């Protein structure tokens, strides 16, 4: 079973990496970009076929390792 | 207009970061994870409201900066 986990910064948390990308796009001539925020994506392959068990495992993975829940949100797509 | 760009490694390209996450999850007791591949996500806010112009701009941004098209694929969700 395949799943995708997307980890993004919570709103209000500064994102200097996103700001740098924004500036770089402007200097490369890509106009019309108002703001950029960068996050992480994890494509996870799970052994079992049970969706609810998979979701619980992914939630544990996010809480323990993939996301820093103080400053980041995570979203699990099965 | 908001858009999300997801940049992932092409299949066949080694992902040591993903392998490290896989190992860390195992040692943290999260079972059933067969493989992990890490990518990047960009949440972009665009100034205009024209979807096709926005898509063209994002495509330019990906080709020029956001993705290394030799080893990475990108996907634009408007």
pLDDT tens track for A52-75:
999 999 999 999 999 999 999 999
pLDDT digits (tens, 9 = 90+) for B16-72: 999 999 999 999 999 889 999 999 999 999 998 899 999 999 999 999 999 999 999
B contacts of A2 (beta carbons < 8 Å):
none
The two most distant CA atoms of chain B are separated, in Å, by 48
Helices (H), A1-78: 16-27, 51-61
CB A5 within 8 A of CB A41: yes
Largest CA distance in chain A: 48
- Alpha-carbon distance values, B27 to A25, A60, A76 (Å): 40, 13, 21
Rounded to two decimals, the ipTM of the complex is: 0.92
What part of B 5-64 touches A (C-beta under 8 Å)?
Answer: 6, 8, 18, 21, 24-25, 28, 30-48, 53-54, 57, 60-61, 64
- The label of the residue with tokens 């943290």 reads B28
Residue pLDDT, tens place only, A28-57 = 999 889 999 999 999 999 998 899 999 999
Secondary element (H or E) of residue B53: helix B51-61
Q: What is the pLDDT of residue A48?
A: 84
CATH number for domain B2-77, candidates 3.30.1280.10, 3.40.50.300, 3.40.50.1970, 3.40.190.10: 3.30.1280.10
Show me where the domains of chain A are located.
2-77
Report the pLDDT value the prediction gives residue B55, as an integer from 0 to 100. 93
Nearest C-alpha of chain A: how many angstroms from B63?
11
pLDDT confidence of residue B36:
97
């Amino acid at each position: 079973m395949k799943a995708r986990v997307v980890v993004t910064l919570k709103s209000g948390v500064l994102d200097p990496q996103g700001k740098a990308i924004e500036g770089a796009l402007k200097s490369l001539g890509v106009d019309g970009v108002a703001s950029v925020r960068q996050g992480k994506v994890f494509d996870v392959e799970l052994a079992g076929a049970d969706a609810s068990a998979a979701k619980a495992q992914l939630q544990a993975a996010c809480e323990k390792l993939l996301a820093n829940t103080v400053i980041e949100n995570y979203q699990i797509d099965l």
